[in-house]
Chains A and B, each alone.
Chain A
Amino acid sequence: MSNLLEVNQVSKNFGDYKALNNVSITVPKGSIFGLLGPNGAGKTTLIRIINQITMPDFGTVHLDGDLLNPSHIKDIGYLPEERGLYKSMKVGEQALYLAQLKGLSKAEAKQRLKYWFDRLEIGDWWNKKIQELSKGMAQKIQFVVTVLHNPKLLIFDEPFSGFDPINANLIKDEILRLRENGATVIFSTHRMESVEELCDDIALINKSNKLIEGKLIDIKRQYKTNTFEVGLESENQSVLKESLTEKFTISEANFKSLNDDLKLNIKLSENEKAQDLISFLNKQAYINHFVEVIPTASDIFIQTVQNN
């Protein structure tokens, strides 16, 4: 079984409002899967369905080959976007309670908590109340509680919000380490740079429908526009620009350069090759910079959502 999670044609209505319309996603085992979409697209509803908080109206969800059922609760760790802890309860007690709700025994939960608290250097917080901790500290506890029962599937909804850059990095490394140890991660965020950095696969949901899904690299290939970013050194830049405009679709580019170059994005038609462009340019000017424009996750996101 190479897929940990399979969501098949799931629909969910809230009254007249369609929150999800025939959405299917497949999350490969051991991957970090980015679940993307604008606000109100239906991501949280989908995540809640996977967590069995809400039931789908139609469609099925399979986890590790089995139809989703209550015994799967212990296999999933969920860090919701709207998260918090009991403010007046002590850290240790609270963590033990939440771990026990996930089916761990008290002794086992205690042992694992000790390990995690040592690891994140928060051991001396055990007897503190959440209201005495800073937001970042509370987020650390929340993270520990999410991963404590070693779930097969981890679902993080905006995991880095509330962390300073140092702690965000720490958590990112922990997520990567958990993946190495066999966990699969679903990752919902609006921070595209972390999508670029972490995700192997993505799915994009907009207005209750899934628009794209697949390996991030495949999607990028699919979305590439045969555009090249060039920096050209020439004595007469305006003449050069004119001659290029006749032959190609060009636009201003913006990148850092040491020379006072003409910076352009040059879009080729489908059957033109990079070599053709290079040999053409070579005759006209010195080429200081030549790079294929790879669409970023952010570009893909904006383009897809706007076209929808």
Chain B
Amino acid sequence: MNHLPLIIKREYLTKVRNKSFIIMTILSPIIMMVLAGVIAYLTNLNKDKVRTISILDESGLVQDVFKETKTTKYHKLNGITIDVAKETMKETSNYGLLHIPKNINVDSISKHIKFYSEESPSLTFINDLENKLNRKLTELKRRELKIDISKLEDSKVWVNIGQENFSGEESSKVDSVIKLIFGCAAGYLLFMFIIIYGNMIMRSVIEEKTSRIIEVIISSVKPVQLMLGKIIGTSLAGITQFVIWVILFGILTTVATAILGIDIMDVQTPQQQVLEQSVVNSGLNVEIQNILASFFNMPLLNVIVAFIFFFIGGYLLYSSLYAAIGAAVDNETDTQQFMLPILMPLILAVYIGIFTVIEDPHGTVSTVFSFIPFTSPVVMLMRIPFGVPIWQQLLSFVILIGTFMLTVWFAAKIYRVGILMYGKKPSYKEIIKWIKY
């Protein structure tokens, strides 16, 4: 008798109907949106704050650099010494004091500019000041050196190395960024999925043990069937939750943008701003078309197919381990010691993906770890956008599936014995003994 569909159906329905599951499904996107909204609001609030900065320009060279904006006002001081200026600062509520000393040449000025303030100024703020002064002082320095500025501008050359592989597909630096984002997103998604829904499987196994229904069930079905039913049922519930999240998030983003006029996507962190500035400075102009082109430059079909297969393979591999842990212990607190060996390779995979694949997607480390079954789903998913030979993907997948079957066999053994053991926390030694039963 094949009870698998029945078990899957029960697991799925119990999960989906569970109150906390429903609440989590609905609340999570809302909470995230609210959080994003709050951050956006707070950032805007910060932007509206007007800062007044006192400037003591003893050199008299950079007076015209500082133009008032909505959020920054400049208060220019004249004819006083820096010590007096510092004293007057105490009486005002000005944000800080920028001091440009009197000096003979631009070089020494640039080294002695100082910003005095009560509290440490923000990174973006200092960056902004530096940029302004840099531009002005560079100009002055050039004049000092009698360099023809128009010729200098003319002499600049931007090199843009076109990338093309031997089969004639073109790519660019933007491509790499997009591929990276895509790979990381896929890897992270798998990582999150394994942790969230693996835990759910584990808890559902423990629940059957603590409620003592397990012996009733396995007098009707084979433990392996029950385990697979649990894994598949819970995964389907997980996918349902994920899909709902994506849809809800989409709807909420649209609604929030329309009603509140806050563009969530526009919320920028200071780090991003700094990053963008440096990107702009290096002359790389990121355009939407470019990004789109890069997106379609990826081996899309390959990426999607591989994503599905490696995602399922990796998830199943880990979830069978979670099920085995659930079977081995009596309650959730006892799971700690067995979680570490599961989490280690997962975390390793993510870090290898982020640090090594970025550096060299086809290097030895990346390649090797994209074959080792416990790291391969994450690492391979991150590598594939950069173009991995099909034979490598297939080999890696075959290894993954082989390991999966081995793990299921191994997990089923632990599961079969473990679910009937009550009351004590087993050691690793005992678990290994169970496999021989």
Contact = CB atoms under 8 A, between A and B. Distances in A.
Interface of A: 14-15, 48, 51-53, 70-71, 73-74, 76, 78, 80, 82-89, 97-98, 100-103, 142, 145-146
Nearest to B437: A14
Interface stretch (B48-56, B131-139, B218-226, B381-389): B218-226
Nearest to B9: A97
The residue in A15, A48, A51, A80 that gathers the most chain B C-beta atoms within 10 A of its C-beta is A80
B213 A84 contact: yes
Nearest to A100: B6
Given A14-B437, A82-B212, A102 B220 contact: yes
A100 B220 CA distance: 10
Contact of B215 (A73, A80, A86, A103): A80
B11 to A, nearest CB: 11
A52 B3 CA distance: 16
Contacts of A53: 215, 218-219, 420
Nearest to B215: A80
B14 interface: yes
B366 to A, nearest CB: 43
B127 interface: no
Given A86-B14, A89-B14, A98 B212 contact: no
A80 B219 contact: yes
The residue in B1, B211, B213 that gathers the most chain A C-beta atoms within 10 A of its C-beta is B213
The residue in B6, B208, B220 that gathers the most chain A C-beta atoms within 10 A of its C-beta is B220
Given A86-B14, A86-B211, A15 B437 contact: yes
B127 to A, nearest CB: 56
B217 A101 contact: yes
27 contacts: A48-B420, A51-B219, A53-B215, A53-B420, A73-B219, A74-B1, A80-B215, A80-B219, A82-B212, A83-B212, A84-B213, A85-B213, A85-B216, A86-B207, A86-B208, A87-B211, A88-B14, A97-B10, A98-B216, A98-B217, A100-B6, A101-B217, A101-B220, A102-B220, A103-B1, A142-B216, A145-B216
A83 B216 contact: yes
Interface in B1-21: 1, 3, 6, 10, 14, 18
A76 B211 contact: no
Interface string B197-214: 000000000011001110
B434 to A, nearest CB: 9
A76 B213 contact: no
Contact of B211 (A84, A98, A145): A84
B414 to A, nearest CB: 14
B221 A101 contact: yes
A100 B212 CA distance: 19
Contacts of B6: 97, 100-101
Nearest to A97: B10
B422 interface: yes
A84 B212 contact: yes
Interface of B: 1, 3, 6, 10, 14, 18, 207-208, 211-213, 215-221, 420, 422, 433, 436-437
Contacts of B433: 15
Nearest to B430: A15
B211 to A, nearest CB: 4
Given A73-B220, A101-B3, A102-B220, 14 more contacts: A15-B433, A15-B436, A15-B437, A70-B1, A74-B1, A76-B219, A82-B215, A83-B212, A83-B213, A83-B216, A84-B211, A85-B213, A88-B14, A98-B216
A190 B30 CA distance: 57
Contacts of B208: 86
7 closest cross-chain pairs (CB), A and B: A84-B212, A101-B220, A80-B215, A84-B211, A51-B219, A78-B219, A82-B212
Contacts of A98: 216-217, 220
Contacts of A88: 14, 18
Contacts of A100: 3, 6
A91 to B, nearest CB: 13
B165 to A, nearest CB: 55
Given A88-B18, A101-B3, A103-B1, A83 B215 contact: yes
B284 to A, nearest CB: 56
Contacts of A48: 420
Contacts of B420: 48, 53
A37 B436 CA distance: 27
Nearest to B7: A101
Contacts of B436: 15
A235 B166 CA distance: 124
A105 B132 CA distance: 80
Contacts of B217: 98, 101
Contacts of A145: 216
A15 to B, nearest CB: 5
A61 to B, nearest CB: 14
Contacts of B207: 86-87
Nearest to B226: A101
A67 to B, nearest CB: 18
Nearest to B1: A103
A71 B436 CA distance: 27
Contacts of B219: 51-53, 73, 76, 78, 80
A156 B290 CA distance: 72
A80 B216 contact: yes
The residue in A82, A89, A145 that gathers the most chain B C-beta atoms within 10 A of its C-beta is A82
Contacts of A15: 433, 436-437
Contacts of A78: 215-216, 219
A83 B420 CA distance: 11
Contacts of B437: 14-15
Nearest to A13: B437
A89 B216 CA distance: 15
